[in-house]
Amino acid sequence: TTPPVSNFLRNIIDQDLKNQRHATKLWAGRPGPAAIQSTGQVDTARIRTRFPPEPNGYLHIGHAKSICLNFGLAEDYGGACHLRFDDTNPEKEEQEYVDAIIDMVQWLGYDWKYQNEDNLYFASDYFGYMYEFAEALVQAGYAYVDEQTPEQIRQTRGTLTEKGTNSPWRDRPAEESLQLLREMRDGKHPDGSLCLRAKIDMASPNINMRDPVMYRIRHTAHHRTGDQWCIYPMYSWAHPVEDALEMITHSICTLEFEDQRPFYNWILERLRDLGFFTDPLPQQYEFARLYLSYVVTSKRKLRQLVEEKHVDGWDDPRLPTLAGLRRRGYTPEAIRLFCDRIGVSKADSRIDYSVLEQALRDDLDPKAPRSVAVLDPIKLVLTNFPEDKEEICYAPVHPHNPDAGKREFPLTRELWIERDDFREEPVKRYFRLFPGNTVRLKYGYIIQCTGFEKDENGQVTTVYAEYLPDTKSGTPGADSVKVRGNITWVSVKHAIAAEIRLYDRLFTDPHPDVGDKDFLQLINPNSMQVVQGWVEPGLVATPDAHWQFERLGYFVADRELSTPEKPVLNRTATLKDNWS
C-alpha cells in the first residue's frame, strides 16, 4: 500500500498532534456517553472523528467519501472514529435505515470500536443533556423563548443585504423563558406555537447568527425515544453538543456548513463558560462534497426513484447507493480506492463516473477469476468434429497468476458463439468469422468458416466451420496457421444457462441533478437489458462471486437472486470505458 497523500486536513492534524492540542484529559465529571466515560480517561492526544449520518435513507457514494475520510484518518493516526446516528428529526427516521447504514459501514471495512470503547452512538441518547444545556443557556441569558410564528421568524430574519429585526420576545426575563421552555417540554403547547432561539445578533452579516432556532415543538413519536420528547433540537445546535459530548477533536463536514461554523463555536464556547465542557473544544472543518456525473445522490431524489418504482428498491444495481453498488458487483476495496484517488479538497468539483468504474477495474483485474460467457448466442457447428467427441481445453484462471490454476472445459461439435463474432459480409478490419475466413477458438483449434444458415426473418441461426486438426492451443502446431481473430465459445452440451443483466447509466444526462432539470425526464429507458446467455461449465454462481468474462467485462452473481443452479449475473462494468 502506498502512503496516504497529504491534504489540508492531514496538515491540520499533523500540526495539532505536534502541538499536543488534544493532550490527555480526564473524563471524570463530564457529561457524555458511557462507553467513553467508562475508560475514565480519554487519550485525546490521538484524534477522534465521527461519521454522523441521519437515518432517513440509504448511504450513497457521496457518504462513502465522508466515511473513508473520517474512518481513514482515525485509522491512519491511531485514533477513533465514531459512528453516530444524527437522529434529531423524528419525521423521516427509521430503524430500517439505521440497520442498512451499519451494514454498509461494516461492508466498507470500517469499525467504530477503539480500545475498550464501542463508539456507536445515537444523538437521541443526548436529548437529556441537550435539554439541560438549553435551560442553562436560558438562565444565563443566551437563549429565549420566542412566540412568533415560523412565518414571522422567517420574515424578520432579514436577507443578505438587509439586517434582521429583533423579536418582541427577545428581551423577556430569563425566568419567563425558562418557564415556557419547561411547558414546551411538558407538551403544554402545540407544534409551531413557541420555539427556543439563541440570543446572538439579528444584525450579524451571517444569517445563521441571527438568533437561530434551537428547539421546536413536534408532537411526533421518535423511532428510538418514542413519546418521551415533544421538542426536538435543530441540527445546528445539536451537532456541536453531540461532538463535544463525545470529545470529537476534528468534526469534518461538507462545505455548505461553513457558514454554520460561527454558531457551532458560539454554542461550545458558551457551554464551556458555563462549565459543561473544557478546552480544547471540538473544531469544525469543511471539505467539498462529492458530485458524480450521471447519478443523483440527493436522498430526496433517490427516495423518489425508489418509491415511484423507477428502480427496483434501494439496492437496485443502477443506483449510486452503496447497497446498489454492492449488488452491482462493486467491491469495498474499489470504493476505497476511488475515494483515495479523488482526494479531499475545499473546492467543489465534479467527478466523472468513469473514475469510479476505473477504480473497480483496477481492483478486480488482478484478482477476478476469468471465465467465458456468450451473451447473444448463435450456434456454431464444426462439421468435421465427431458427434460424441469431447475434447478438454485448458485456460488459466488468471493470466498473470499461475498459482490460481487452470480451468477445464470441453470442446464439442456444437458451440455457442457471440452473434457479433460472425458477419455474412465482412466490413473493413473485421477479422472474425465470415465465410472462408479462419479464426482461433480461444484455447481450442483454428477453424475455417464454411457457411451459415438464416431463418425466415433473415437472422443468422447457425454458422458452419471445419476445425484444423493439429492447431490446438498449447500444442506444437498451434502457430502453424496465422489468424488475426480469436473468439470465445462454450459447448452447447455443457454450457450453463444464465440470466444476465446488462446495465447502462440510469440517466441520459451527465448532470441530472443540476439546477431545476426534471431528473425523472432524464431517465435512460434502456438502463437495464436482461438477456438469456450461456456461461462456461464449472462456473459456480454463488451470490457475490465475481468474474471477468473474457472480452466482455466484469460480472457478479446477484446477491439476492443467483444460485449455482440458476445463475443470475449482473454486469458490473465493461472492460473499456464508455462513460466519458
Active site residues: 54, 289, 299
Q: Say which residues have a Cβ less than 8 Å from residue 64's Cβ, sequence separation at least 6.
A: 108, 322, 335, 338, 339
* Segment near ligand ATP (CB under 6 A); pick from 52-60, 343-351, 450-458, 471-479: 52-60
Q: Is 373 within 8 Å of 498 (Cβ atoms)? A: yes
DSSP 8-state class, residue 6: P
Size of the site for ligand ATP (CB under 6 A): 14
Please state, in angstroms and rounded to a whole number, the distance separating the CA atoms of residues 149 and 266: 25
**Is 487 near ligand ATP (CB under 6 A)?**
no
Please state, in angstroms and rounded to a whole number, the distance separating the CA atoms of residues 433 and 31: 76
DSSP for 183-209, written as a single string: HHHTT-S-TTS-EEEE-S-TT-SSGGG
Shortest Cβ distance from residue 56 to Mg ion (Å)?
8
All three cell numbers of 463, joined, read 454458422
> Does the annotation flag 553 for ligand binding?
no
Enumerate residues 49-108 that contact Mg ion by CB under 5 A. 54
Among 153, 195, 253, 535, contact with ligand ATP (rule: CB under 6 A)? 253
Binding partner of residue 33 among ligand ATP, Mg ion, none, CB under 5 to 8 Å per kind? none
Please state, in angstroms and rounded to a whole number, the distance separating the CA atoms of residues 301 and 309: 12
**Is 289 near ligand ATP (CB under 6 A)?**
yes
C-alpha count within 13 angstroms, C-beta hemisphere, residue 228: 11
Q: Is 539 within 8 Å of 555 (Cβ atoms)? A: no
According to DSSP, the residues that pair with 371 across neighbouring strands are: 549
**Is 298 near ligand ATP (CB under 6 A)?**
yes
Cβ-based nearer residue to Mg ion, 54 or 499? 54
Q: Identify the helix (H) or strand (E) that includes residue 122.
A: strand 120-122
Query: Which residue type occupies 106?
Result: Q
What is the number of residues in the chain? 580
Shortest Cβ distance from residue 570 to Mg ion (Å)?
29
Cβ-based nearer residue to ligand ATP, 111 or 365? 111
All three cell numbers of 172, joined, read 423577556
Of 76, 405, 374, 52, the residue nearest 238 (C-alpha): 52
Among 54, 75, 259, 376, contact with ligand ATP (rule: CB under 6 A)? 54
* Segment near ligand ATP (CB under 6 A); pick from 48-56, 139-147, 525-533, 564-572: 48-56
* Segment near ligand ATP (CB under 6 A); pick from 16-24, 290-298, 414-422, 537-545: 290-298
Q: Is 402 within 8 Å of 396 (Cβ atoms)? A: yes
* Segment near ligand ATP (CB under 6 A); pick from 63-71, 184-192, 211-219, 455-463: 63-71
> Does the annotation flag 254 for ligand binding?
yes
**Is 22 near ligand ATP (CB under 6 A)?**
no
CA 70 to mean position of chain CA atoms: 14
Binding partner of residue 323 among ligand ATP, Mg ion, none, CB under 5 to 8 Å per kind? none
Among 52, 233, 282, 377, contact with ligand ATP (rule: CB under 6 A)? 52
Cβ-based nearer residue to ligand ATP, 123 or 180? 123
**Is 66 near ligand ATP (CB under 6 A)?**
yes
**Is 223 near ligand ATP (CB under 6 A)?**
no
> Does the annotation flag 144 for ligand binding?
no
**Interhelix angle 261-273/235-245, nearest 10 degrees:** 50
> Does the annotation flag 496 for ligand binding?
no
All three cell numbers of 19, joined, read 502541538
Write down the H helix ranges in 210-311: 235-245, 261-273, 299-307
Shortest Cβ distance from residue 279 to ligand ATP (Å)?
24
DSSP for 317-352, written as a single string: TTS-BHHHHHHHT--HHHHHHHHHHH---SS-EEE-
Cβ-based nearer residue to ligand ATP, 298 or 475? 298
Q: Which residues are annotated as a binding site?
A: 54-56, 60-66, 86, 235, 254, 289-290
Binding region for ATP: 54-56, 60-66, 254, 289-290
Interface contacts to Mg ion, rule CB under 5 A: 54
Binding positions for ligand ATP, rule: CB under 6 A: 52-54, 62-63, 65-66, 253-254, 289-290, 297-299
